[in-house]
Amino acid sequence: MAISSLVRPCLFQYIGTVPRLVARCQKNPRSIWNRSAALSRIEKKATVPLKTCLLFPSLQWSISNITKRNLHTSQLHLQEVMLTCERYGVERLPFACISDSDLNFFEHLLPGRVITDAEELKSFNVDWLKSVRGCSTLLLKPRTTMEVSQILKYCNEKNLAVNPQGGNTGLVGGSVPVFDEIILSTGLMNQIISFDHISGILVCQAGCILENLNQYLEPKGFVMPLDLGAKGSCHIGGNVATNAGGLRLLRYGSLRGTVLGLEVVLADGSILNCLASLRKDNTGYDLKQLFIGSEGTLGMVTAVSILCPRKPNAVNLAFLACPSFSQVLKTFIICKDMLGEILSAYEFMDNGCMKLVERHLKLTNPVAESPFYVLIETSGSNSIHDEEKLSHFLEHVMDSDLVVDGTLASEGKKIKALWALRERITEALTCDGVVYKYDISLPVEKLYDLVTDMKVRLDTAAKNVVGYGHLGDGNLHLNVTAESYSHSLLDAIEPYVYEWVSQYYGSISAEHGLGFKKKHYIHYSKPKEAVLLMQQFKVMLDPKGILNPYKTLPSKAVR
């Protein structure tokens, strides 16, 4: 297809301002190097004015889908998914089965909020990747911490297993039952308790949707410290329970630093109220850290106190094309050096990912096709200052031939449209067939070597092998797709991929957790002494093992 045929009525229109970039962009009509009117003094120096128009029809369409992506109602769930216990050969632990008297108790406690309809339960029994499925016959929807306490107290006494569930956006099978565990949903626990506009500390119930919290905060001049592709569906309690990372970790750090306090209901119904709103509290053990990342196996998070940063006044997004991964790394080094305090995200994706979002989601690549793409976000308080720094950075990486093409955005809808190319990769992968997902941490210089190795190892056994992730914090998302589930393909991937990661002292789970799928591989990242201590914590806090059984920890000691 001729390049000229891609230039249509304008959605993104920018004025080029740097002479050298103008010259380069004119060679490729698909490129757009943005400068706002704030850089008028630089514009005056431009020898040739540039105004390039480009239409992203599918990106424009996708904006409404990014912010309100309801993962529960995805049509992916319309397909029948094999039961987890059958696919993986799991034996049910000796928990009690739900009786009529149990149902009577719950219906009295939660009138109108006890779900037993099989059709309604389907989406709560299946994960979003349609890779695991439980057979729960009961869904409970409490509104208060006290109701959660009464439910868990009763379940503990009756030896009924419970599966805590937030937005069900997890990717390792941790959010859905394995057998007939009672699903305990935080869907109705969606109230904001308080917000301090001086300190920026938000206290809310665990069922608040991440994007809704952000929408609440933005008019007040604040934002949530984490951002995920599933923000339109995921719950803050689930984010905490899985220690979700996401797109803002480079700037604001992990939830282990921004979560100030938690309210947690333990297996016996006891309420642990550590819902502190203090930046500094050095009295005894920091108990909240036990529950952050515990995936609902030690207690159920019912409320969260979290520190929210100020909303940046100026946000810019650069989407760049790089000819090799080594140049992606070199660009990152220069990016940290030249952008410094305004750098808020540095994401990468390979061309395989781009082809998937183009093919399955009909999104459009805004730059020339390249082996790798980088998405850089800057966030600051002064647009002129930020744009000057970004301008110097872009000119430098272009002069160094680290970047061969790029496009910029500084307006909200256009920024969301570019983010869609990165955020919707997971969605595109699910359209490509069965997905084998690996969320790992590695030394940054080794990050893509694993993808290259897996392509050679799997060859034609896999449909696609792609890599993308948060390069700024050394997190790779390795994904393998196939037309259908295959034990032989899984055996070719695991445990090889975990052995590879362990060889370079990486982590087999950077941000998704272990859930059901990866619990038996924990020893590749943790010594046996650490796993034993975790198991002892589990026994102490949940002696009967009713909380999210079959998840996170191996049932037997690691040798």
Q: How far is CA 134 from CA 52, 182, 237, in A?
A: 52, 10, 21
Query: Greatest CA span in the chain, whole angstroms?
Result: 82
What pLDDT, on a 0 to 100 scale, did the predictor assign at position 556? 67
Asked whether the beta carbons of 265 and 145 are under 8 A apart, the reply is: yes
Nearest-5° Cα angle at 57, 52 to 60: 95
Output the six-digit token pair for 5. Answer: 């045929």
Taking alpha carbons only, the member of 154, 158, 147, 155 closest to residue 112 is 147
Among 2-11, 406-415, 451-460, where is mean pLDDT lowest? Answer: 2-11
Taking alpha carbons only, the member of 331, 306, 307 closest to residue 319 is 331
| DSSP H stretches of helix in 37-144 | 40-43, 57-67, 84-88, 100-109, 118-125
What pLDDT, on a 0 to 100 scale, did the predictor assign at position 446? 95
- 390 by Cβ neighbours in 10 Å (0-12 / 13-18 / 19+) ranks as buried
What pLDDT, on a 0 to 100 scale, did the predictor assign at position 319? 97
pLDDT per position as a tens digit, 214-248: 999 999 999 999 998 889 999 999 999 999 988 88
Looking at the predicted structure, is the pLDDT value of residue 271 above 50?
A: yes
Average pLDDT over residues 36-62: 31
pLDDT per position as a tens digit, 468-493: 999 989 999 999 999 998 999 999 99
276 or 545: whose pLDDT is higher? Answer: 545
pLDDT per position as a tens digit, 68-77: 333 333 334 3
Q: What percent of the chain has pLDDT over 90?
A: 79
- 43 by Cβ neighbours in 10 Å (0-12 / 13-18 / 19+) ranks as middle
What pLDDT, on a 0 to 100 scale, did the predictor assign at position 26? 33
Average pLDDT over residues 376-404: 94
Spatial separation of the C-alpha atoms in residues 379 and 386, rounded to whole Å: 8
Give the mean pLDDT of the chain.
Answer: 86
Looking at the predicted structure, is the pLDDT value of residue 95 above 90?
A: yes
Q: For the residues of 307-325, what is the DSSP string, one character each?
A: E-PBPPSEEEEEEEEESSH
Residue for token pair 């034996």? 91
Asked whether the beta carbons of 96 and 159 are under 8 A apart, the reply is: yes
Output the six-digit token pair for 170. Answer: 């997890």
What pLDDT, on a 0 to 100 scale, did the predictor assign at position 248? 86
* pTM > 0.75: yes or no: yes
Spatial separation of the C-alpha atoms in residues 430 and 6, rounded to whole Å: 28
pLDDT per position as a tens digit, 160-203: 999 999 999 999 999 999 999 999 999 999 999 999 999 999 99
Spatial separation of the C-alpha atoms in residues 399 and 265, rounded to whole Å: 57
Residue for token pair 């200052």? 385
Asked whether the beta carbons of 359 and 417 are under 8 A apart, the reply is: no
36 or 323: whose pLDDT is higher? Answer: 323
Looking at the predicted structure, is the pLDDT value of residue 4 above 60?
A: no
Looking at the predicted structure, is the pLDDT value of residue 84 above 60?
A: yes
CA dihedral 466, 358, 365, 339 (to 10 degrees): -40
Taking alpha carbons only, the member of 122, 153, 148 closest to residue 136 is 122
Asked whether the beta carbons of 441 and 474 are under 8 A apart, the reply is: yes
What pLDDT, on a 0 to 100 scale, did the predictor assign at position 75? 39
Looking at the predicted structure, is the pLDDT value of residue 43 above 70?
A: no
355 Cβ neighbours under 8 A, 6+ residues apart? none
Helix, strand, coil shares of the chain, percent, nearest 5, are 40, 20, 40
Average pLDDT over residues 20-40: 36
E strand segments, 323-433: 343-350, 372-380, 405-409
Q: Which domains does the chain have, with CATH numbers?
A: 84-185 (3.30.43.10), 192-279+286-307 (3.30.465.10), 314-430 (3.30.70.2190), 433-525 (3.30.70.2740)
What pLDDT, on a 0 to 100 scale, did the predictor assign at position 79? 58
In which element (H, E) is residue 535 found?
Answer: helix 528-541
Spatial separation of the C-alpha atoms in residues 431 and 527, rounded to whole Å: 37
> Can you tell me whether residue 276 is helix, strand or coil?
coil
